[in-house]
Amino acid sequence: MDNQWLNRWNERYSDPEYAFGKEPNSFFKMEIQNLKPGKILLAAEGEGRNAVFAALNGWDVSAFDISEEGKKKALRLAEDKGVTIDYRVGELPELGFDESGFDTLALIFAHFPAPIRLAYHQMLDTLVKKGGFVLFEAFGKKHLE
């Protein structure tokens, strides 16, 4: 992955304040509470606010991001809230998640660089069990309009 992309997120998450706050994304919070807790994977999870919320609500949580700074803050937030999460740093193909290993996949504003976006979405699809759920919230090309 492009070092510029990695540096961007490490820089953003190195600030002591949480870039997107400590509370879960409102769409994620609303939707996750309608599902029976199981194993969930949160892609491009950043500072961990959604992962920690899921763990607080009985989910077995795995998450990943490219940012080591994001992971540090996610684990700090998890510790502060008294939960544990499996948080991996790196590129998806090397992270070792099990095929069909998750009941739910959450992509909440998961920003992947254009050259790898399609490949990542295809890989992520293989990680969700048949009959599982995908929670997806993203910007559209005409979002600001």
Domains and CATH numbers, the chain: 3-14+34-137 (3.40.50.150)
CA angle 8, 11, 16 (to 5 degrees): 145
Give the pLDDT score at 3: 83
Query: Which amino acid belongs to residue 75?
Result: L
| Angle of helix 68-81 versus helix 49-56 axis, rounded to 10 | 30
Name the burial class of residue 46, with classes exposed (0-12), middle (13-18) and buried (19+) by CB atoms within 10 angstroms of its CB.
buried
Sole residue written with tokens 């290993």: 101
Mean pLDDT for each consecutive 10-residue tract of the chain (145 residues)?
Answer: 80 93 97 97 97 98 97 98 98 96 97 90 97 91 70
- Which among 35, 28, 32 has a CA at the least distance from the CA of 131? 35
Distance CA 60, CA 57 (A): 9
pLDDT at 81: 98
In angstroms, the CA 43 to CA 56 distance is 18
| Phi, psi angle pair for 16, to nearest 5° | -60, -30
As given in the structure block, the two tokens for residue 29 are 């919070």
pTM over the 0.85 mark: yes
Numbers of helices and strands, H then E, in the chain:
5, 5
Residue 57: the pLDDT is: 98
